[in-house]
Amino acid sequence: MKRSVLLHNIKITLFFLTAATLLSTVFFLLSNNSANVAIVYVLATVLVARNTAGYVPGIVAAFLSVVFINFVFTYPYMALNFTLDGYPVTFLGMVIIATLTSTLTTHLKEQSRILKERERMLIEAEKEKMRANLLRAISHDLRTPLTGIIGAAESYLEQESLLSEYEKARLVETISEDAQWLLHMVENLLSVTRINNQTACVKTALEPLEEVVSSALQRFHKRLPESKVHAQIPDELIMIPMDATLIEQVLINLLENAVYHSGSEQPVSLSVTVDSRQASFHIRDYGLGFEPEALDSLFDGYALTKNHSSDSHKGMGIGLSICKTIINAHHGQIFAKNHSDGAEFTFTLPLGEYTHEPEIDSSNY
67 vs 71: CA distance, rounded Å: 6
Which among 163, 126, 179 has a CA at the least distance from the CA of 327? 126
Residue 357 is predicted with a pLDDT of 41
Residue 88 is predicted with a pLDDT of 67
This prediction has a pTM of 0.55
> What is each CA distance from 57 to 11, 49, 215, in whole angstroms?
10, 6, 60
Residue 45 is predicted with a pLDDT of 82
Q: Per-domain residue ranges for the chain? A: 3-116, 194-350
Number of continuous H segments (helices) and E segments (strands) in the chain: 9, 7
Residue 247 is predicted with a pLDDT of 92
Residue 309 is predicted with a pLDDT of 41
Classify domain 194-350 at the CATH superfamily level: Histidine kinase-like ATPase, C-terminal domain (3.30.565.10)
CB burial class (10 A; 0-12, 13-18, 19+) of residue 103? middle
Q: How far out from the chain centre does Cα 331 lie?
A: 6
Pairing of strands 268-274, 229-232: parallel
3 state SS of 47:
helix
298 vs 304: CA distance, rounded Å: 8
pLDDT by position in tens, the chain (length 365)? 678 888 888 999 899 999 998 988 888 888 776 667 878 888 888 888 778 877 788 778 888 888 888 788 777 777 776 666 556 666 676 667 767 776 777 778 788 889 988 988 887 787 777 677 666 666 666 777 788 889 889 988 988 888 888 988 989 988 988 887 777 777 767 766 666 555 567 788 999 999 999 999 998 888 888 889 999 999 888 999 998 888 998 999 899 888 888 888 899 999 999 988 999 999 999 988 888 877 777 887 654 444 444 344 455 456 788 888 889 889 999 999 998 888 999 999 998 754 444 333 333 33
